[in-house]
Chain A
């Protein structure tokens, strides 16, 4: 089965914006892949003038929040980095049992990569060289708001990108075999678990899971 991959445009965000950005993006994606009976829930972003749609599925919401927490935790430890969050959908296929494998395997049929460049801005425009900070004014408030506007526009673009992708690629979507709201199994992976030396990060990830994150909301 072919796996469609969508690389979303990179967004330059500050740490405190991560949550809202990821919420917008992840919920929008899942909404398009939740083919069960959905009662859409319009959510006004807390930071941006953007309304995105949720499926109204509590479990999904919880999971997304958890993952965001983990990601923010990871970002705390790895500031000023580019990173990816991957949302992927898969099918579970039973495999012919062999000696050394599970009986089931995950067949990923779609992967969404959310590309974030997290910048930690402290003080007055330290990172002005960054492309998001187009404002060269001295006023940090102004700069901030204009930077926010830029991010908002980019985020909107990303959401459009999602919609476009979703519209263009429909044939790879497997058959819906259940009546759940969230029709397909999915997973959200964050950097710690995907892109570095296996042992150390697994360890970190476990620790993060155990400790959780204090400011988990909603």
Chain B
């Protein structure tokens, strides 16, 4: 049957493709659940660029999108793809995947580090841990998967064994039979891959993988894999420890597909080790570490687009844990556009995945080690045209740039792009913010640039996260309106005190707006994050906050020079109108200075403004009164606010303040409730 059907088989090319895809899928399934990071081998990312759709990457001959083969839709697994591309040239050689458990020596070691120079030789290249393996013997093969196509005719490959393979035998009577044959083969392969999929999750190594993925911790253990075309035989002891499982082969017209696994059943010693938590590693990882601070990295970058690799998250449909997290590499050497891993420290929480939208991500130069893992739901965005290179200090900015159509950016209170006539700092220029003609009225030299920048951050961050839902947009608008109102009131008050006081007052005003605003903005951004990312694995919401804060910190020095005050002075009510911007900048400032709890004076001021303040101490009132009575330069005021008011505060103070802010917020909300129908931009 076999040989006869072989000879008369009319479309063996299809069969061959099934076989090929079977290999791919198998590798994909296995690596997806065994490779805790994307290999840092030096695939350039061009693969992805040239194949923007996951379906077409390196499978130009595919009849259907690759991820749909065998009716098993998986996310992209670059490691599998790259491996497959190598294998593809190898004439259906067997694939042996060794899953290696690496016991890290006490010193830190980069498990995957070197691009393998001999990648053109398919046989026996590894996923990059060669050096490590030579370095240390503490690795153990815990699983060996063997995927094989066995031709029936004496080991010759399928093409030779099926002479009719390339000929079209034009509608003979057997064509239906053969089509039934490969339908059957296909169906059986589907089932086999299903059970492979289930199997991969059941084996003990999966637990290690999951543990590795589910925490950003440094582990003494790591998983890696080696792919080769032949299996180095196990030693007897090794073999004795191994369990075997052979999937029932799937017959093809000219041969059969076999899949088998040898695995260590007992990983008990490993488990105890892997469960050793090193919790302190987590937080420094995404806040303080220079390797993770996106701003620092952005700074050092040429005008390129480092962040997009991780911006493009993987789809989350299949794997909550079965995906490969993106790690950041502090060393550009081994990183590539889409795949980063050098420093195990910097493993990202597992929710960050490289995904099939990586294509857009990969127009990145090699030093794009700066993968920005704080990205949010890029799935929603990635269909938009490729990002244009820019070095934005804030990821939100990039959202903004790339989605200028985003409605939120056009809300009245959120002019995004303000040229900076005087401060013209590199930031914005480099960011290449598109001009916003609709906001021309705002684009005046008189506008406080800091304010604009800050607002840009805020609004873009919120915009980025609330792109489509109308409700949220509305909420944002209201929020900004609220900001408007508040600052308008404040400014009005300030300006009414006389022009020469404006400078100092503006300084005060900013801090005064800060605290109540902080609540709003923080909670709102949080909320929007949560809303948006509840389902979409938003990795670390506060990290984004951190971004905003940081980027705003950088901006802050701009107005330390008192220029804001100048602006306020010269623009008078025009500025008052823009005072929402100031408010936003105040938020930013507040975010930055949050821990010291300095809004005490600001609260005081606000109490002047909004007559509902209940909790101001007379001492503070006095101090603020002093400030008001003593119009100094804004610098001095700023100095005061930062030095004098940052006094040791207790937690109780903090809570008390918080309560005050809440009350104020409620009041504002009520006020807005009544005024919301009126024009928010009405001059006070």
Taking Cβ atoms with an 8 Å cutoff, the residues of A that contact B are 28, 31-32, 34-42, 44, 49-53, 56, 156, 159-160, 162-163, 166-168, 170, 173, 176
Chain A contacts for B188, CB-based, 8 A: 170
If A40-B318, A160-B202, A167-B192 touch, whether A176 touches B197 (CB-CB below 8 Å) is no
Residues of A within 8 A of B68 (CB): 37
B319 at the interface (CB under 8 A from A): yes
Q: Smallest distance from the beta carbon of A156 to chain B beta carbons, Å?
A: 6
Give the secondary structure class of A's interface. mixed
Given A49-B207, A167-B191, A170-B191: A40 in contact with B202 (beta carbons within 8 A): no
Asked if B187 CB lies within 8 Å of chain A CBs, one says yes
For B309-339 the 0/1 string (1 means CB < 8 A from A) is 0000000011111100000000000000000
> Is B399 located at the chain interface by the 8 A CB criterion?
no
Q: In this assembly, does B493 line the interface, its C-beta being within 8 Å of a C-beta of chain A? A: no
**B318-A51 in contact (CB<8A):** no
Tell whether, in the assembled complex, residue A40 and residue B197 are in contact, meaning their CB atoms are under 8 Å apart.
Answer: yes
Q: Are the C-beta atoms of B195 and A42 separated by less than 8 Å?
A: no
Cross-chain contact B317 with A51 (CB below 8 angstroms): no
Task: Give complex CA distance A162, B210 in Å.
Answer: 23
Q: Are B322 and A42 in contact (CB under 8 A)?
A: yes
A35 x B201 contact (CB < 8 A): no
Contacting residues, chain B, for A35 (C-beta < 8 A): 71, 187, 190-191
Complex CA–CA separation, A144 to B615 (angstroms): 55
A3 smallest CB distance to B (angstroms): 18
Bound Cα distance A182, B93 (Å):
34
Nearest chain A residue, comparing its CB with the CB of B259? A167
**Which chain A residue lies CB-closest to B243?**
A160
The smallest C-beta distance from B154 to any residue of chain A, in angstroms, reads 27
**In the complex, A53→B248 CA distance in Å?**
20
When A42-B322, A173-B187 are in contact, do A37 and B73 touch as well, CB less than 8 Å? yes
1/0 contact trace for B174-200 toward A, CB 8 Å? 000000000000011011101101110
| Known contacts A37-B68, A38-B71, A170-B188; is-contact A31 B320 (Cβ 8 Å) | no
Which residues of A have CB within 8 Å of B230? none
Contact A163 B187 (CB under 8 A): no
* Total A-B pairs, Cβ < 8 A: 82
Chain B: minimal CB distance from A86 (Å): 21
B206 at the interface (CB under 8 A from A): yes
Least CB distance from A217 to B in Å reads 18
Looking across the interface, which residue of chain A has its beta carbon closest to that of B74?
A40
Q: Enumerate chain B interface residues (CB-CB to A < 8 A).
A: 68, 71-74, 187-188, 190-192, 194-195, 197-199, 201-202, 206-207, 210, 245, 247-248, 317-322
Minimum Cβ distance to chain B for residue A166 (Å): 5
CA distance A167 to B247 in the complex (A): 6
Q: Distance (Å) between the CB of B310 and the closest chain A CB? A: 22
- Does more than half of chain B's interface fall in helix, strand or loop, or is it mixed? helix
Q: Are A32 and B187 in contact (CB under 8 A)?
A: no
By a CB distance below 8 angstroms, the chain B residues around A34 are 194
Q: Which residues of A contact B321 (CB under 8 A)?
A: 42, 44, 51
Contacts of A176 in B (CB 8 A): 187
Q: Which residue of B lies closest to A35 (CB)?
A: B190
Of the listed residues B72, B190, B245, B247, the one surrounded by the most CB atoms of chain A closer than 10 A to its CB is: B190
Contact A42-B320, Cβ < 8 Å, known A52-B198, A166-B191: yes
Contact across chains for B194 and A32 when beta carbons are under 8 A apart: yes
Contacts of A31 in B (CB 8 A): 194, 197-198
Q: Are A50 and B202 in contact (CB under 8 A)?
A: yes
Are B191 and A28 neighbours in the complex by a CB distance under 8 Å?
no
* A32-B195 contact in complex given A51-B210, A52-B201, A167-B247, C-beta closer than 8 Å: yes
User: Would you give the shortest CB distance from B314 to chain A, in whole angstroms?
Assistant: 13
**Chain B residue contacts of A166, Cβ below 8 A:** 191, 194-195
Return chain A residues, CB-CB under 8 Å to B199.
160, 163
Q: List chain B residues, Cβ under 8 A from A163.
A: 195, 198-199, 202
Cβ of A28 and Cβ of B198 under 8 Å apart?
yes
> Across the interface, which residues of B come within 8 angstroms of A50, CB to CB?
202
On whether the beta carbons of B206 and A51 are closer than 8 Å, the reply is yes
B55 to chain A, nearest CB (A): 13
Task: Other than A35-B191, A42-B322, give 10 A-B pairs with Cβ distance below 8 A.
Answer: A32-B198, A37-B68, A37-B72, A40-B72, A42-B318, A42-B320, A50-B202, A51-B210, A167-B192, A176-B187
> CB distance A53 to B201 under 8 Å?
yes
B202 touches A156 (CB 8 A): yes
Q: Which one of A38, A159, A162 has the highest number of Cβ atoms from chain B below 10 Å of its Cβ?
A: A38
* Nearest CB of B to A66, in Å: 23
In the complex, the chain B residue whose C-beta lies closest to that of A27 is B198
* Residues of A with C-beta under 8 A to B317: 39, 41, 56
In the complex, 25 of the A-B residue pairs with CB atoms within 8 angstroms, ordered by the A residue number, are A31-B194, A31-B197, A35-B187, A37-B68, A39-B73, A40-B73, A40-B197, A40-B318, A41-B317, A42-B318, A42-B320, A42-B322, A51-B201, A51-B321, A52-B198, A53-B198, A56-B317, A159-B198, A160-B245, A162-B198, A163-B198, A163-B202, A167-B192, A170-B248, A176-B187
- Which of chain A's residues have a CB closer than 8 A to the CB of B322? 42
Distance in angstroms between the alpha carbons of A162 and B199 in the assembled complex = 10
Pick the contact of A36 from B71, B191, B192, B245 — CB < 8 Å? B71
Q: A41 CA to B194 CA in the complex, in Å?
A: 12
Q: How far is the CB of A205 from chain B (nearest CB, A)?
A: 31
The 7 closest A-B pairs by CB, nearest first: A167-B248, A51-B201, A39-B73, A39-B317, A163-B195, A37-B71, A32-B194
